[in-house]
Amino acid sequence: MGRKSLYLLIGGILIAYYIYTPLSDNIEEPWRLMWINAQQKTIENLATFVELLGLHHIMDSLKVVWSFYEVPPTSDENVTVTETKFNNILVRVYVPKRKSEVLRRGLFYIHGGGWCMGSAAINDYDLLSRWTADRLDAVVISTNYRLAPKYHFPIQFEDVYNALSWFLRKTVLAKYGVNPERIGISGDSAGGNLAAAVTQQLLDDPDVKIKLKIQALIYPALQPLDVDLPSYQENSDFLILSKSLMVRFWSEYFTTDRSLEKAMLSRQHVPVESSHLFKFVNWSSLLPERFIKGHVYNNPNYGSSELAKKYPGFLDVRAAPLLADDKKLHSLPLTYVITCQYDPLRDDGLMYVTRLRNAGVQVTHNHVEDGFHGAFSILELKISHRLINQYIEWLKENL
């Protein structure tokens, strides 16, 4: 074997080692998923290195990368796509071109990205909104919101709430031909968090007369109090979303002060005076038995009150919808929840399903045994199309 061939062989082995990650046998298209993950891991590593050099915040670097995947608001043969502002918040509006004899359904969609990245213009979100508008014969509003680290909670929540409230005005619904009795909200990941939070907030707003018929939450992040759930432990280093990255997202939602992230990882961020909140996120009583799998629930380690006083958002129900009491949950609309087996956020969704059902809310729970975080929105994967088809079929039947 020549020296050149040897170098190529060694290089190939090193590349394969970097890309390869052991996966469960039930994961579809494992090598494609590993390749996507390797690209993401490379970008994250470079962004981390740039941050260590003091040149750029990691989330700002990742935001720049995501911006390369944005596409303009271009109409096609089936859907008219425009951009406008709802209460000064930039949104994309997707309206089917075919004529309708009746008022259409309306769906308000909130993108994910850890409250730090993404937009309605990202190619995969744009395609999702087009498909949903066309197949559901619905007007889809895909909203933007200001992002961390420049903006922190409650800005993201307020932006989404203000855009949604604007959409729910009778004059706006009439303009787009939307039936006020057939409006739903949906979002994935951080967008699922925001969807759940604003849906709860709407219940107490006397100024918003039109209410939501359904909420559809796709692997939502619902609480930052306990980031040592069984799903966080089992999937701490899984592809696409690791435990450390999710905790960084949570921390950045509230502050650029890394001391909060450090305290969250050591489970010392909740003060003892807020100990009563853990009853809402106690996985030992809220998870179905098969997801506990011998895990032992440990009582939390309480921290000082300093972090909670400086950054009270992580104890705020608007940031952590799982902290809502049963009386609030009881009034929520028909709900659809997607959870994925290989996702740190799996147990957030599972606990919400349990609490909603206990409160009397009708819930359709789609647990994806071969799913992982991002499975819904990475459209180059087959699993994404399967989940989107199930999601749209549920919306057809219930919205």
List the catalytic residues: 189, 343, 373
* Phi-psi group of 55: left, alpha or beta (phi > 0 → left; psi -120 to 50 → alpha; rest → beta): alpha
> What are the C-alpha distances in Å from 205 to residues 162, 165, 198?
12, 10, 10
The alpha carbon torsion through 161, 164, 168, 172 (nearest 10 deg) reads 130
* 143, 220 Cβ separation under 8 angstroms: no
Element (H, E) at 107: strand 104-110
In sequence order, the β-bridge partners of residue 107 are 140, 184
Tokens 């004899």 sit on residue: 101
Dist. CA 91–CA 145, nearest whole Å? 9
CA atoms within 13 A on the CB side of 391: 31
Element (H, E) at 84: strand 79-86
